[in-house]
A and B are shown apart, each in its own frame.
Chain A
């Protein structure tokens, strides 16, 4: 049953455009995520999440479902080995709302199979990535995102 869902929210003192750029431009993504998100970001296009450690290892793949800069991005999210198996694809929705001089970034990850490897992995991953993104956009310095994790 793909009924597991997580909702993560972080408030960042920045502009919506900066957040959207930080999610979609490899040159920015690499600085706080250690990975580049690569796509032309057109609905129906593929995207990949590629390690920036020099190996270029593809860690996640999926399709762009919706892209409305700078407010909304919806993608599917799967392990490379499940690329052809749509039943295993999960979904990630990024919603970017300006609130005063801040941005509320909501990441909703759903269509997950409860207690699957993906389900456990993203529970560890998103809080780290979002903290790092926030620090990066607010201070210009990324965190050591994957420190202590293998």
Chain B
């Protein structure tokens, strides 16, 4: 199941072609399979397979517009990775800067 498991996110991101797919969606969100294929040097079948993995990881979500299926980049799982590790460090660094500023200004 997709869900709250983070493994599929890392698996999905551990591939250059899938990252490229996400880049293409980042620059132009909401594309059909055909539009995506135009930007990529891959067969339609390969793109379909990559998209399936990205959808499973909840990194890509689809929405229908009439008969078309549009693909959207969903950065929420990536943000959760950021929350889990990066922001903790950012916070302590900001605190250190704040303390330094206080110390220097006291003099």
Q: Show the binding face of A for B, using Cβ within 8 Å.
A: 4-11, 13, 100, 102, 106, 108, 126-128, 130-131, 134-135, 138, 143-144, 147-148
Among the stretches B11-19, B40-48, B78-86, the one at the interface with A is B78-86
Q: Is the CB of B58 within 8 A of A148?
A: no
Contacts known (A6-B72, A7-B61); A13 close to B83, Cβ less than 8 A: no
Shortest beta-carbon distance from B36 to chain A in Å:
15
Shortest beta-carbon distance from B12 to chain A in Å:
14
Q: Is the CB of B91 within 8 A of A4?
A: no
A to B contact number (C-beta, < 8 Å): 57
| B49 close to chain A: CB less than 8 A | no
Number of interface residues of B (CB under 8 A): 21
Q: Is the CB of B74 within 8 A of A7?
A: yes
Shortest beta-carbon distance from A92 to chain B in Å:
14
Q: Which residues of A have CB within 8 Å of B1?
A: 100
Q: Is the CB of B58 within 8 A of A106?
A: no
Q: Is the CB of A130 within 8 A of B29?
A: no
Q: Is the CB of A143 within 8 A of B63?
A: no
Q: Which residues of B have CB within 8 Å of A6?
A: 29, 72
Q: Which residues of B have CB within 8 Å of A128?
A: 79
> CB within 8 A of B83: which of A102, A108, A126, A131?
A131
- CB contacts under 8 Å to A, within B53-79, are 58, 61, 63, 72, 74-76, 78-79
